A and B are shown apart, each in its own frame.
Chain A
Amino acid sequence: MRFFDCNCSFGESARPPFRYARTPAELLEEMDFCGIDRALACHAGMRFSSPVIWNEKCSDGCAASSRLEPAWAILPAQTGEQPPIDEFLAAMKAHNIRALWAFPDEHRYPLNRLAFGELLEALVAHRIPLFVKQNLVAIGELLKECPNLTVVAANQGPHSIERYLRPVMDAFPRVYIDTSSYIVQGTLEECCERYGPERLLFGTAFPNNCSGGALLQLARAAISDPAKAAIASVNLERLLGEVKL
């Protein structure tokens, strides 16, 4: 089975974990140790410093290996920190960016049409997946405004989130969940049964979480081998393959 990690990062932060990847080379070493083939990677600076600086540096770092694909983070256009939408999309195309991240709580903005109307329309038009680190009530509100947006609910934490998640998954078929902290026993299996394996993406959240946890959980989940393969890599490859820039 090939693993394509949808959620990992390298780089320094102010309060780094005890063990992390300072560089893309160290991230690759962690991937080798765990048997992870490819990764959609962020730079920690995109979350804990500023996407203005670190988006492009993430691309530069990932250029070191064909196994690493960079993702960028978004900010609202109104402050001028990120370029106008056409320029931003052109820059994404130039750097082969096929996925974006939103950190609304850390970066302190509302992830809605008011702040991101034009960008959200572009993401739908170009089928660009948006990884969102925000609670599922907020994600549900976003999707009410923008139901065709492809959203990956990421880093949702280890608590049982089913009472929040299922209403959103039921209502919006383009919502996905990354497995990095989807660790309540049996939820992954029930999610597969209820929605099909297509709605789950393998993620480790390294170095926020331990890579081996998500790896072994998926490898030994009580689901079929084709379902595991879909979650491990096929679903993410399909999502990224749908992007038209």
Chain B
Amino acid sequence: MIGNPSLIARDYMKYGQSATCPIIDMHGHFGPFYGGYLPAAPLEAMLAALERAGVLRIVVSAHEALFSDPVSGNAQVQEAIDMQPGHFLGYWLVNPNHRKLVTTAPADFERARGFIGFKFLPDYHTVPVTDPRYAPVLEYANDRRLPILIHTWGGSGFDSPQIIEETAEQYPNATLIMGHSGFGDWENAARVAAEYPNVYLELTAVYVAHDWSMLPTGSGTPVPFLPCLQVNGIIEYLVERAGSKKILYGTDMPWYSPHFAAGAVLFARIDDEARHDILHRNAERLLESLTHASK
């Protein structure tokens, strides 16, 4: 018998989803990944998994855009959005190593359909978020109050919580979503999210320990990531310090099981109001504000 009194948790355990508490995934990807086999990379497999977990919407960027060709990768996302309108939304991937594409990104974004904002992957592109090369996109997002999902990692010289803090100060109208919640540097991540109204925490991977010694090639990133060997209680900590209204659900799907990610939230020692906030309400509010902005 489950001692957890949450009615939402019981729904998920029994049915795999909850009619009263659906999920919106604010950190998704799309397509195969060079560094590992992902069974849910094909669109049909990903859709089936999302449906089983009651994920109403997912905002994605393509692996192809992140790690190889931004043009064809963003086009892949456009194709997925067109096939699944409303269910799939997109982040326009910006890689500052492709300088010309950064300058055209705002116009490209405006022409695209179903993209809600931008995605930065600074640790992999080895350009800090504060580098002037990101400025055209940050200024554009700031002017239009658009979200930018930024991969963040504790101790990184490219996208640490402190770097996000600097960016949030400079661009107070852009919504900065800290992907992975500044993994490992929970204190600073929570502080920045609490202090800056335009900064959100996002939970992808926060629910599982990262011990890079378990992979023969380590983190596989240009600069090795810091490990974090124990993560239980971090969701509770982030809720306590930053508030449940500043936290978004995410999975890196087709990486992480939406049920695993949901289970971590549903069995965290937080109340059901906080679970609603994290699993769907905060994302609904953000997406709703974008709809109004575009009108």
Contact = CB atoms under 8 A, between A and B. Distances in A.
Check if A and B associate: yes
Interface of A: 13, 15-20, 32-35, 105, 133-137, 155-164, 181, 183-190, 205-217, 219-222
A33 B232 contact: no
A29 to B, nearest CB: 8
Nearest to A138: B216
Given A216-B262, A217-B260, A190 B233 contact: no
B231 to A, nearest CB: 6
Contacts of A133: 214
Nearest to B33: A160
B235 interface: yes
Interface string B33-49: 10111111000011011
Nearest to A1: B13
B256 A185 contact: yes
A51 B25 CA distance: 42
B232 A210 contact: yes
B214 A20 contact: no
A18 B37 contact: no
B39 A185 contact: yes
B256 A158 contact: yes
B53 interface: yes
A135 B264 contact: no
Given A158-B208, A210-B235, A219-B13, A20 B230 contact: yes
B260 A33 contact: no
B97 to A, nearest CB: 24
B258 interface: yes
A220 B233 contact: no
A207 B260 contact: no
A15 B209 CA distance: 13
Contact of B263 (A135, A158, A185, A217): A217
Contacts of B236: 18-19
B254 interface: yes
A220 to B, nearest CB: 4
B268 A210 contact: yes
B44 to A, nearest CB: 12
Interface in B225-274: 229-237, 251, 253-269
B166 to A, nearest CB: 26
Contacts of A161: 36, 215
Contact of B231 (A17, A186, A189, A214): A17
Interface of B: 1-4, 9, 12-13, 16, 33, 35-40, 45-46, 48-49, 52-53, 186, 205, 207-216, 229-237, 251, 253-269
A194 to B, nearest CB: 11
**Best-buried of B53, B186, B233, B237 by chain A (most CB within 10 Å):** B233
Given A133-B214, A185-B251, A208-B229, 12 more contacts: A16-B230, A19-B236, A158-B205, A158-B210, A162-B36, A183-B257, A185-B38, A209-B208, A209-B209, A209-B232, A216-B263, A219-B259
Given A34-B3, A181-B209, A208-B209, A187 B39 contact: yes
Nearest to A185: B40
24 contacts: A17-B232, A18-B186, A34-B3, A35-B1, A135-B214, A157-B208, A157-B211, A159-B36, A184-B255, A185-B49, A185-B253, A185-B254, A187-B39, A188-B257, A210-B263, A210-B264, A211-B232, A212-B266, A216-B260, A216-B262, A216-B267, A220-B52, A220-B53, A220-B259
B4 A33 contact: yes
A186 B36 contact: no
A34 B236 CA distance: 16
A119 B3 CA distance: 41
Nearest to A220: B16
A165 B45 CA distance: 21
A214 B260 contact: yes
A32 B234 contact: no
B231 A208 contact: yes
A163 B214 contact: no
Contacts of A32: 3
**Best-buried of B1, B9, B39 by chain A (most CB within 10 Å):** B39
Contacts of B46: 185
